[in-house]
Structure 1
Amino acid sequence: MNLFENTLKLNGFPIAEAKEKLAKIKQISNENFGNYIFKSRNEIVAYHLQNNPFYKKLIGNIDVSNWEKIPVMTKRHLQCPLEERLSNSFKKDAVYINKTSGSSGTPFIFAKDKFCHALTWAEIIDRFGALGINFNHSLQARFYGIPLDFKGFYKERIKDFFSHRYRFPVFDLSEEKMEIILKSFRRRKFDYINGYTSSIVFFAKFLRDKNIILNKICPTLKYCIVTSEMLFDDDKKLMEEVFGVPVINEYGASELDLIAFTNNENEFVVNSETLLVEILDENDMAVPLGNSGRIVITSLYNKAHPMIRYDIGDIGVLSSASTDKKPILEKLIGRTNDMAKLPSGKTIPGLTFYYVTKSIMSNDGNVKEFIIEQTELDTFKIQYVADKALSQQEKNAVQKSVFEYLEKDLKLIFERTTVLKRSKSGKLKQFVSLVEK
């Protein structure tokens, strides 16, 4: 029974038509794909200029025939009532509405027309399907947050049932909860793991300490798919070792679509079928392939709400091997608002600081997870969960590494805790600067 897709159809999302459209897009040749992107991006701009007063006001008198002159949209542009942003022919009760997670610090409500949202699911079904994962019968072990209010809680549980997934809420990562999760893997025939990177890494460290290889006790397990948070190479290696299956990275945004997904060749392939992904510099100009910049995305099919040259708030690099049809995301560096400004005036991605520190603190497996807060220009607080407190020698090693790779005379404050603060959705923000830029 095609339960998952029938549920989408019953809720008004034309999934069959969306899958047919996606199949036609995928058949476009490499040579003609650039023309497809050019035509699609111009058509969505023309549509919103004609049908969306909000977007027409944003554009003003700009000549849209020059793509790089089209203004980049930010989350702050979208922090006004949704009614003011909907296209003329769409009403709130006839579109898909949701809210961003707010992990960027700038949450907003967004809308998609129902065909656009169905295309999102068609894209996800296609990428997962390439791995042999079928949402109608492949059982998912889901490491996610869940609303704690009665209505929200049971709404998610119902969605889990129809999506063939068993959820492990990530707000409690105690030893007792890890044991319960482990028992579930012994009893249930999970096909794949899916969820927040930090929580799944935490579970992997628990298994490592127990000398357990997960697919030995759950032989049906085929993949681990992580999402919503940074995936570091050493964490990927650890998970693949203790789970005994490949780790797949998923990068997406609820207001857009699935943005990039690891394929069977271990390439982080960008969704070029329904999105146009650009890497721009501080002047909103495209950078050469292989260079880092702001990730700016256009939704090619959302007619209900303009998402055109939308700055998602992340920094990344497109590989020099990218083509129009197959862009490859070589690096996903972090968020633009997670930058650390140092006393020397140098500015670095905050995850650079996190990564340097991580390389030292994770050596012996004592530290389970940690976050870093920049509290002053020269001061960083490291909150960590560990079996035992870091020794002075270990703290000195972290400080030496920071001095060597970043800048001398930075102050580090270490604070051991039993649990790290997560967002309402269950995500862990690995670095945050509390210093005004």
Structure 2
Amino acid sequence: MHPFLSRHLVYPLQERLLKRPTFPYLAALERSQWLSREELERLQMRKLAALLSLANAHCPWHARRLAEAGLGAITPNSELTRADLERIPTMDKADAQLHGEQMRWTGVPGGAFAYNTGGSSGQPLRFYYGRLRQAADAASRIRARRWWGVNVGQREVYLWGSPVELNKTDRIKTIRDHLLNQVVLNAFDMSQANMDTYLVVLERYDPVCLYGYASSVALLAAHAKERQRIPHLRSLKVVCTTGEPLYPHQRDIISEVFSVPVANEFGSRDSGFIGHETPAGQMLAMSESIFIEVLNPQGHPVGPNEIGEAVITGLCSDAQPFIRYHTGDTLSLSHEVCREGRGLHVIDQVVGRSTDFVVKSDGTVMHALSVIYILRAIEGVAEFKIVQHQLDLIEIQIVPNPRWQETNKLAIVQAFKRRLGDSIAVDIHLVDKIPPEASGKHRYVVSHVTLPVVTFVGHSQQQNTDAR
């Protein structure tokens, strides 16, 4: 499909049919990014008032908490300050797990849709999102791509692994990808043979943008360098990475192999799209859609460039409001302004969490999310940790919630065997608590198996010790 037709006809038609206001929201974002910081923060407060007003009216769990905070009479026209927001108690994944139905706005325009988080935090979550949240994420990502000269309808390759994307292989999905000029490659099955094929696909398709999990794109780049099979990509402008922290050695090898800059993005399924790098080397927050607080363990704001936990209020999370939500990710905000003149807030650094790879008995390298997705779908799992001790032995620690059933054990074992092979032994242990590592970090997928790609310094040269 010609990019012009994809951009101006196919994609807008799809969004209108799905009742998503993506392109009107995009037009607003293109204007609002040039507001001053003060004007942008006033816009945030107006959106916050609207969010709290609908939460009071439609979401009983939030309404009780807002009333207790003295904010039960908020209207969309209320003038709020940051101090008003800080009066509201924070919430976490456990709250959303156990009280999600009382957080929902069942009559949200366009409908509410169930979704699962990826679970890399160790706490899988089922929640609801609406058309506005979908549109905000999509429009924010389109705007961020435009910073790099990539527009809707231009050729993109996704090194991706969500079962939602990979299982929809029917004719309609195939046609849609073709019309939107998108190709999806499976990040859950990074065998050497598949990576050889991926390099061929990249060269033949010649995308303008390559998008994928940071570790998976780095693994593909390391494989290309090992095989001395560097793809010739004439049109490629940027590689966009997502899903986990992008480490310097990963950025270096990706940029070296693909000969373009690497732009990292930050977000999650429950919190939404939070930030994206610019060509000027800064990560900008999606300030019109997300309000970011950075708090210390005592719940107090930290100063500029100080690291704390990201607590997010999703200003477009109308179907199930996420208000002062503990993400479990750590970051710091900068006192800087955007070097290109935007009013958007600047994220100094994202510490985040890293995921590991798991390895099948035949040597196939698989992204950790391929096994995380198994546990995230089990309602009775509150927290988990997966440890691959050797090729044929996986240990799973599970903190059960009140919905746990003993039949879940068999379902988990069967699912892991389907994913990793029948020879794998799966030991499941129910525990009261999963402690952090000695470093203080929480690692939810840990592999002690040496990866077969010896040049990938992010994993194999560390010999998969617990160095991170």
TM-score range, shorter chain: 0.7 to 0.9
- Segment drifting more, 301-310 vs 196-205: 301-310
Q: Which residue of 2 aligns with 1:37?
A: 44
Provide the secondary structure at the position in 2 that maps to 1:349: coil
Counterpart CA distance in 1 for 2:313 and 2:301 is 14
Question: How far off its partner does 1:56 sit?
Answer: 1.4
Question: How far off its partner does 1:102 sit?
Answer: 1.7
Counterpart CA distance in 1 for 2:279 and 2:464 is 41
Deviation sequence 1:47-93 (CA, Å, 0-9, x none): 312332121134451234632221111111111475432126338x7
Counterpart CA distance in 2 for 1:431 and 1:298 is 33
1:383 maps to amino acid: V
1:126 maps to amino acid: R
1:283 maps to amino acid: Q
Q: Which residue of 1 aligns with 2:323?
A: 308
If the length of structure 2 is used for normalisation, what is the TM-score? 0.69
Q: Which residue of 1 aligns with 2:178?
A: 161
Q: Which residue of 1 aligns with 2:379?
A: none
Provide the secondary structure at the position in 2 that maps to 1:76: helix
Q: Is the 8 A contact 1:178 1:203 kept in 2?
A: yes
Q: Is the 8 A contact 1:212 1:242 kept in 2?
A: no
Structure 2 unaligned blocks of 5 or more:
72-82, 355-382, 386-434
Q: Is the 8 A contact 2:43 2:288 kept in 1?
A: no
The within-5 A match list for 1:189-208 is 189-208=206-225
1:17 maps to amino acid: P
Deviation sequence 1:159-188 (CA, Å, 0-9, x none): 533542111112222221121112212322
Change (3 A) 1:156 1:80: farther
| Alignment RMSD | 3.3
Q: Is the 8 A contact 2:329 2:352 kept in 1?
A: yes
Q: Which residue of 2 aligns with 1:140?
A: 156
Provide the secondary structure at the position in 2 that maps to 1:119: helix
Q: Which residue of 2 aligns with 1:364?
A: none
If the length of structure 1 is used for normalisation, what is the TM-score? 0.74
Question: How far off its partner does 1:224 sit?
Answer: 0.7
Q: Which residue of 2 aligns with 1:3?
A: 10
2:270 maps to amino acid: E
Q: Which residue of 2 aligns with 1:94?
A: 111
Greater than 6 Å deviation, 4+ residue runs: 336-339
Q: Which residue of 1 aligns with 2:344?
A: 326
Provide the secondary structure at the position in 2 that maps to 1:276: strand
Counterpart CA distance in 1 for 2:173 and 2:115 is 14
Question: How far off its partner does 1:415 sit?
Answer: 7.6
The within-5 A match list for 1:205-220 is 205-214=222-231, 217-220=232-235
Counterpart CA distance in 2 for 1:149 and 1:273 is 27
Question: How far off its partner does 1:150 sit?
Answer: 9.2
Provide the secondary structure at the position in 2 that maps to 1:334: coil
Q: Aligned pairs, how many?
A: 364
Q: Is the 8 A contact 2:244 2:352 kept in 1?
A: no
Counterpart CA distance in 1 for 2:130 and 2:453 is 49
Counterpart CA distance in 2 for 1:98 and 1:228 is 17
Change (3 A) 1:43 1:187: closer
31, 35, 39: which one aligns with 1:28: 35
Q: Is the 8 A contact 1:334 1:349 kept in 2?
A: no
- Segment drifting more, 70-79 vs 21-30: 21-30
Q: Which residue of 2 aligns with 1:56?
A: 63
2:141 maps to amino acid: I
Q: Is the 8 A contact 2:149 2:237 kept in 1?
A: no
Change (3 A) 1:151 1:210: closer
Q: Which residue of 2 aligns with 1:423?
A: none
Q: Is the 8 A contact 1:112 1:304 kept in 2?
A: yes
The within-5 A match list for 1:270-309 is 270-309=285-324
Q: Which residue of 1 aligns with 2:140?
A: 123
Q: Is the 8 A contact 2:223 2:453 kept in 1?
A: no
Q: Which residue of 1 aligns with 2:237?
A: 222
1:51 maps to amino acid: H
- Segment drifting more, 232-241 vs 319-328: 319-328
Q: Which residue of 1 aligns with 2:22?
A: 15
Deviation sequence 1:262-309 (CA, Å, 0-9, x none): 111011111111111111111221110111100111111322221111
Deviation sequence 1:338-383 (CA, Å, 0-9, x none): 98443xxxx53358xxxxxxxxxxxxxxxxxxx973xxxxxxx732
1:84 maps to amino acid: Q
Provide the secondary structure at the position in 2 that maps to 1:315: strand
Change (3 A) 1:219 1:17: closer
Counterpart CA distance in 2 for 1:40 and 1:142 is 32
Q: Which residue of 1 aligns with 2:451?
A: 385
Q: Which residue of 1 aligns with 2:193?
A: 176
Deviation sequence 1:221-246 (CA, Å, 0-9, x none): 21111110220011101111111011
Deviation sequence 1:375-405 (CA, Å, 0-9, x none): xxxxxx732213679xxxxx9x96xxxxxxx
Counterpart CA distance in 2 for 1:77 and 1:296 is 14
- Segment drifting more, 200-209 vs 30-39: 30-39
Counterpart CA distance in 1 for 2:244 and 2:166 is 27
Deviation sequence 1:179-220 (CA, Å, 0-9, x none): 111221232221111111111111111111233443xx2211
Counterpart CA distance in 2 for 1:149 and 1:14 is 22
Question: How far off its partner does 1:24 sit?
Answer: 4.5
87, 107, 112: which one aligns with 2:129: 112
Question: How far off its partner does 1:149 sit?
Answer: 11
2:59 maps to amino acid: N
